[in-house]
Structure 1
Amino acid sequence: MIFDGLERFADRIAIITATKQYSYRELLLWADDIVSCIQTGDVVLLLSDNTVETVVAYIGAMRKKIPTIILNAHTPLDNIIDIVRRFLPTHIVGVNDKLEIEGYRKSLKKDRTTIWSTVSSLSTCVNEELAILLTTSGSTGSPKLVRLSHLNLLANTTSICQYLNIKSDDIGITCLPLYYSFGLSLLNTHLYQGASVIVTDESFLNPLFWKMIQEYHVTTFSGVPYSFSILKRIGLDRFDLSSVRYVTQAGGKLPKEDVEYWDNYFKKRGIDLIVMYGQTEATARMSYLPSAFLKNHSGSIGIAIPGGRFSIIKDGKIVTTSESEGELIYQGDNVSMGYAENKDDLTLGDCNQGTLHTGDLAYRDKDGFYYITGRMKRFVKLFGNRTNLDELEGILKQNGIEALCAGTDDNLRIYIKDLSLRDKTEEIIRKNTLISTLAYKIIVIDHFPISESGKIMYAKLLE
């Protein structure tokens, strides 16, 4: 299992917070103690935030092989209750001691951690390989959870450690939520190697975040596309990044011009930018683009991670020629076991058998690098013509318009935030596409809906 053998790191610093540092010895004693009242075979709902208490509960559950649903602690109560009703966890763990859910009572209050236990004698059968369950893409109201096994976690962790060359003297920082697969992978990889992690919920916008990077000599930080738009807005020149050796980006496609901008910016400072691609259904990561190849392959998701393999399928057949578009298929030990919609699904075995249909359209260039062109479901038909919504957003962006595109067949909606750009938007569409003015409507909104993990929530636009 992923956290077996952490005892060998003993007095090395594992976790750093704003007020205290914890050695591996202290962390493991705390973790094993906090889950001592929970039995192997029980199911835990962990209400997660970026605190040492969440880290401790997670590590304790993994070491004791307790299947754990990891959910944003700030999820609306109705959604938490929905998860509880469908999955019937035997215990709920969190730092909000004011939580009240029918059928559960407080069974332990230790420091800031509270454990609620069911008042009934629930008996939940679970697959012994099941480790954690995560919502897809960091969403909070997802009707289904991704089932990840101990093998999935271990395979992805060892692969990431290999291609990022994570070492015991590295120091990471939690710039992403721990209930999000990308954020959780940073914790997993650093602890697996005996490195240190600063656990904080401070964002890029808070000067304290950058002060911690300087004070503790942080060697790496991560971001999603939205994070990098924040970095460009606040400007990094006023911060000391001399200890940082690499920056990673995943969680969605960073526009080609932004990749080139940040690659140039970081290279001048001796920092590697590593662009990656992944999905929760593959534990976290499926590909990476080594920094050395960014200049000639910006816009690419790179190559499959160690232990993984890509292929492209079109019309049911594997595409063998380069530059041919089709669905991107990934194979590897990090591919999840499948989904779960209720407690009965917790008994299921490995439904995916190591193969993931990503739902992304992609092609491979002559050098073996892969490029995402859009989502298979991000298409609409407008008067019989198939339109790629991602491509349309890209055309608008290249012409200076920040927009989101959503909708259904013959009902395209283009969302912008500035009313004065309506006419320019129409002009760009007229000059660069064959889309009829009768097929779309331009809607002005105050802000784009962004999830906690920095992804666009397109479904919110259509509500």
Structure 2
Amino acid sequence: MKGLSFAHRLELFGDAIALRLPDNSTISYLQLAKLADQYSCTLNKVVPAHSLLALHFSSTLSAVVAYLAALRSGKALLLLAPDLADSQTLALVERLHIAALIQSSGEIQLTACQQKVRPDCALLLSTSGSSGSPKSVMLSLQNIEANARAICDYLPIESTDTAITALPLHYSYGLSVLNSHLYQGASILLTEAPLMSKEFWQQTRDFQISSLHGVPFSYQLYRQLRLERMPRPALRYLTQAGGKLNSSLTDYVQQLSSTLQKPVYLMYGQTEATARIAYLPPKLIQQYADCIGKPIPGGELLLRDPGTKNLITADFTEGELCYRGPNVMLGYASCADDLTSTGVLTELSTGDLAERLPNGLYRIVGRLSRFLKIQGKRLQLDHLEQQLSALVDPVCCTGTDDLLVVAYTEQKPHLAEQLQLYLREQLQLHPALYKVMQLPTLPTLSNGKADYQALLQLAKEGRDAG
């Protein structure tokens, strides 16, 4: 069994508990392997070989079994949000020629499409975090295994631990929690209880949850709920990724770590690197919380001049952050033809501007392109403007990692409600994370282009006034 991925080694953990369910039932590793193999047989019977499948991935036993069955049987699988709109699902089926849709219940729906997929592609994840992006990241089984191994090398995951699905499993961060715990022979509580519900927090107590994982928005909720006052003796550590913390949340996380006397791991990653790229050792959080830290085990960070692409070796010199490691994706798939590509990516250009400190830590200082990372979801603002132009034109989008700003000038009944509905349902954003503004005119620069900084300032003034 040596050299196989964690998905192929499940049975090695025997009767140890792999999955816990809210009704107190459990699934051992041996049972999970058998369930996955049984489902694999079904897939092999009804789905054409070497074709692409898609799974509406909820935090349920049937969905996790389908995910592991695909990995164990070598079926390429696109992960979708469980509540992805039918129109978006259909668009993806047509664009990528998906042969079968797997519902969260495990039900398989065949389509009229069929497309060969490169043999080393095991998984496709959306770059947007919402699964509605036209561009997906192609990952190999080796990518997934390497990232799970690296995470287990720096996080103190033990076989006696139980984690909880506090993040969506179709999202690379949430998926990495599942993968790393299965890699280590630990347990996962599969719950669909919302983070703000009493049920979720009762489960963290009843099931003795040993770690909590969250994006910046999660930590806003932790602060609101006063997590530091909750007695959780089983809790051993916390992790944060999915975007940079603002200054007030940074202060809170530092205080949380100090009050609970528990380590908090600040992490940086991209779906293009399967999940994780860098982490900040907890002992450095009080002094260097504005840094992404150092590369994960087996990975390498470097800086390149954005223009010349030359390597930057001097400290405190800004450059594009690049990453090398066995977890770097195979490439992107925007259409069916991309699924048969043969290229292999050796270095990932992150699009983030960073600098290296003399102690070897890296700090993000900006972005090359216009995208935000809100609640763990990457939003490409130019793409979003194109999408919203179907509702209103002109429209300007800007913001920060905790606030998306959408501005327009058209005076049309119910337009604001339509835009808000799109942001809530299509992008799955909480109302606290966006601001929709109708303005007399959109601010512009002297060259006639949109003045996004001025627009952001107007939004912040309005937010402060509110």
Structure 1 residues 222 and 348, CA, compared in 2 at 3 Å: closer, same or farther? same
Partner of 1:27: 32
Partner of 1:359: 351
Partner of 1:173: 164
Decide which of 57, 66, 91 is 2:66's aligned counterpart. 57
Partner of 1:183: 174
Task: Give the secondary structure class of the aligned counterpart of 2:19.
Answer: strand
Deviations 1:41-88 (A, max 9, x none): 232111111111111100011001100011112111011001111222
- State the distance in 2 between where 1:49 and 1:250 align: 20
Decide which of 259, 264, 273 is 1:282's aligned counterpart. 273
Structure 2: give runs of 5+ residues left out of the alignment: 372-380, 382-396, 409-432, 440-450
Partner of 1:369: 361
Please say if 1:266 is aligned against 2:257.
yes
Structure 1 residues 62 and 369, CA, compared in 2 at 3 Å: closer, same or farther? same
Task: Give the secondary structure class of the aligned counterpart of 2:213.
Answer: strand
| Residue identity opposite 1:91 in structure 2 | A
Shift of 1:404: 4.8
Task: Give the secondary structure class of the aligned counterpart of 1:240.
Answer: coil
- State the distance in 2 between where 1:436 and 1:208 align: 41
Please say if 1:311 is aligned against 2:302.
yes
Alignment of 1:169-248 (within 5 A): 169-248=160-239
Task: Give the secondary structure class of the aligned counterpart of 1:3.
Answer: helix
Deviations 1:194-232 (A, max 9, x none): 100011122221111111111111111100001101111
Shift of 1:417: 5.7
Partner of 2:92: 83
| Residue identity opposite 2:88 in structure 1 | N
Alignment of 1:46-195 (within 5 A): 46-95=55-104, 112-118=105-111, 123-195=114-186
Shift of 1:258: 2.1
Check the 8 A contact 1:256/1:298 in 2, yes or no: no
Deviations 1:126-184 (A, max 9, x none): 21110100111312321111101111101101000101032211111110000000000
Check the 8 A contact 1:299/1:371 in 2, yes or no: yes
Check the 8 A contact 1:131/1:148 in 2, yes or no: yes
Check the 8 A contact 1:263/1:272 in 2, yes or no: no
Check the 8 A contact 2:10/2:32 in 1, yes or no: no
Please say if 1:321 is aligned against 2:314.
yes
Task: Give the secondary structure class of the aligned counterpart of 1:73.
Answer: coil
Partner of 1:411: none
Shift of 1:263: 2.3
Check the 8 A contact 2:52/2:114 in 1, yes or no: no
- State the distance in 1 between where 2:452 and 2:204 align: 51
Shifted more, 269-278 versus 204-213: the winner is: 204-213
| Residue identity opposite 1:330 in structure 2 | Y
Partner of 2:375: none
- State the distance in 2 between where 1:441 and 1:274 align: 32
Shift of 1:393: 5.4
Decide which of 8, 12, 15 is 2:19's aligned counterpart. 15
Shifted more, 154-163 versus 29-38: the winner is: 29-38
Structure 1 residues 407 and 339, CA, compared in 2 at 3 Å: closer, same or farther? farther
TM (normalized to structure 2)?
Answer: 0.78
Structure 1 residues 201 and 169, CA, compared in 2 at 3 Å: closer, same or farther? same
Structure 1: give runs of 5+ residues left out of the alignment: 96-111, 381-388, 395-401, 409-414, 423-434, 448-463
| Residue identity opposite 1:228 in structure 2 | Y
Q: CA RMSD in A?
A: 3.0
Partner of 1:334: 327
Structure 1 residues 78 and 393, CA, compared in 2 at 3 Å: closer, same or farther? closer
Please say if 1:292 is aligned against 2:292.
no
Identity of aligned residues (%): 35
**Structure 1 runs of 4+ with >4 Å offset:** 402-408, 415-419, 435-441, 443-447
Task: Give the secondary structure class of the aligned counterpart of 1:138.
Answer: coil
Deviations 1:18-49 (A, max 9, x none): 11211112211111112212235232111111
Check the 8 A contact 1:15/1:196 in 2, yes or no: yes
- State the distance in 2 between where 1:330 and 1:275 align: 18
Shift of 1:407: 8.3
Shifted more, 263-272 versus 163-172: the winner is: 263-272
Alignment of 1:431-450 (within 5 A): 442-443=458-459
- State the distance in 2 between where 1:165 and 1:234 align: 26
| Residue identity opposite 1:82 in structure 2 | A
Shift of 1:443: 4.9
TM (normalized to structure 1)?
Answer: 0.78
Task: Give the secondary structure class of the aligned counterpart of 2:260.
Answer: coil
| Residue identity opposite 1:35 in structure 2 | S
- State the distance in 2 between where 1:152 and 1:351 align: 12
Partner of 2:377: none
Deviations 1:64-116 (A, max 9, x none): 11000111121110110011112222221113xxxxxxxxxxxxxxxx42111
Check the 8 A contact 1:45/1:70 in 2, yes or no: yes
- State the distance in 2 between where 1:445 and 1:116 align: 50
Shift of 1:15: 0.5
- State the distance in 2 between where 1:437 and 1:59 align: 45
Check the 8 A contact 1:174/1:197 in 2, yes or no: yes
Structure 1 residues 418 and 27, CA, compared in 2 at 3 Å: closer, same or farther? closer
| Residue identity opposite 2:363 in structure 1 | Y
Shifted more, 300-309 versus 232-241: the winner is: 232-241
Partner of 1:36: 41
Structure 1 residues 416 and 77, CA, compared in 2 at 3 Å: closer, same or farther? closer
What number of residue pairs does the alignment pair up?
A: 393
